[in-house]
Amino acid sequence: MDRFVITGPTALAGRVRASGAKNAALPALAAALLTDQPLTLHRAPRVRDLRTMRRLLDHLGIGSEESRADTDAGGDAVLHLRRTGQSSPHDAPYDLVKTMRAGVLVLGPLLARHGYARVSLPGGCAIGVRPIDQHLKGLAALGADVRLAHGYVETRAERLRGARFRFDLPTVTGTENLLLAASLARGTTVLENCAREPEVADLARLLNAMGARISGAGGEAIVVEGVDELGGATHTIIPDRIEGGTYLIGAAMTGGDVLLEDASAADLAPLLDKLAVIGAEVAVSPAGIRVRAGTAGGPLRAGDMDTAPHPGFPTDLQAQYMALMTCAEGISTIRETVFENRFQHAPELARMGADVRVDGGSARVHGPTPLTGAAVMATDLRASACLVLAGVAAQGETVVARIYHLDRGYEGMELKLQGLGARVARVPESEAR
Ligand code: EPZ
């Protein structure tokens, strides 16, 4: 298990390019289960969750090969997905789903394509209970017979049929699973109270390129006219707004100046608006999104923040925002409204000298508190990004353990940070003091 050894403080400065979005690439891979034709995905991030999904697809009869895009696309990975032709099971085993909840995204396409799917229930997660009841209610509304037994959900349907379904709450992968399933249903499906995340709209773009008929993705209501079969497609994954947002928060909290290239300012608007409010300088141009710490001098101002489904402030940037607030002037209240247990980074930040008081779903940060380097432990993907940023801003050496969490969703983070001037090294556990 590798660790990051970081020496701070460093003002992050320079250019960084966003990788493709993990949370758009995962449902895109699942879409390959809907067709016999090859799929080509450009800008696929080289992160561990994608390798896990590729292993799951391989188990389900979809092979994937990686090639490298030509240089002007920054050497991104290109994934070529095609059926291996072997007869394949229609079940997603516990061993593959337990490490990555997004494995549940094979349920809708398998059921729609084969009339049967058996998928391991994802089980518990560090940040919350995270049930999949909305996925199952939605598939039942499309006519599926849904049974839970022995830790698996088993679903059957001769052919799914179009229906009107309203989610009880916006769910990202729930909306994606229903989009994947409804694409091959007989008739028209109307989905309401959908998740509006950019990753949902990106999946709809891919499915439409495969021959689906989806309209309204990105909004609260989505209409899917089912088709009998889907073809192949070539698709470019959208930039990762969470990865990109992490580097922009790093610029603000270290007194730095970072240009994020090839990212979407529209997708990042909730963060950019907040950074401007607390006193960072935000500039959007064809060259990219530039964030500089308050050129007016003096620390940034504290700013309250509530997480919410898109277009609210993303919960996946909450931990990084908390690290930022430790460097801001005043008291900020952070309310986590999406997940019930997503403040595990707070006690680790406190080990670095932060003054964070958690009370249920709220955390109050008293700042600025100068951070000092320490040995800290990552507990989940975004908590690890928060601790890495804190290490870059802190005085002295920080050792972040368990960065396998980070590798799930950040492509070459230490290299990108080094490119921005940070002194960070990945060291195997055996070498770390
Ligand atoms: C997606 O998870 C992302 N993962 C998460 O990113 C992200 O935090 C989350 O959306 C919210 O933005 C992927 O896209 C692979 P939800 P998902 O269903 O789809 C409750 C990261 O760091 N809910 O939108 O699992 C649920 O418990 C990860 O990259 C139900 O009650 O999240 C939560 O409280 C972490 N029943 C809320 O809805 C359901 O059937 C939102 O969850 C489904 C969800």
pLDDT in tens, 40-64: 999 999 999 999 999 999 999 999 9
CA distance 175 to 382: 22
Ligand 1 site, residue 128, Cβ cutoff 6 A: yes
Lowest mean pLDDT: which of 74-78, 118-122, 272-276, 389-393? 74-78
For 341-366, letters b (16+ CB in 10 Å) and e give bbbbbbebbbbbbbebebeebebbbb
Does any ligand 1 atom lie closer than 6 A to the CB of residue 174? yes
Q: What is each CA distance from 96 to 108, 130, 379, in whole angstroms?
A: 17, 17, 20
Residue 27 token pair: 């449902």
pLDDT at 122: 87
User: What is the value of pTM for the model shown?
Assistant: 0.97
Whether the predicted pLDDT of 75 surpasses 90? no
Instruction: Output Rg (C-alpha) for the chain, integer angstroms.
Output: 22
- Measured from the Cα of 23, ligand 1's closest atom is 14
Nearest atom in ligand 1 to 137's CA? 40
Can you give the pLDDT at residue 125? 78
Angle, vertex CA 201, rays to CA 123 and CA 33, nearest 5: 60
Find out whether the beta carbon of 177 lies less than 6 Å from any atom of ligand 1.
Answer: no
In which residue are the tokens 């947002």 written?
245
Q: State pLDDT tens for residues 161-204.
A: 999 999 999 999 999 999 999 999 999 999 999 999 999 999 99
Atom number in ligand 1 closest to CA 132:
40
Among protein residues, the one with the nearest Cα to ligand 1's atom 31 is 131
Told to judge if 125 belongs to the known catalytic residues of this protein, a careful annotator would answer yes
pLDDT at 85: 74
The protein residue with its alpha carbon nearest to ligand 1, atom 20, reads 130
pLDDT at 86: 63
Catalytic pick among 125, 194, 327, 386 = 125
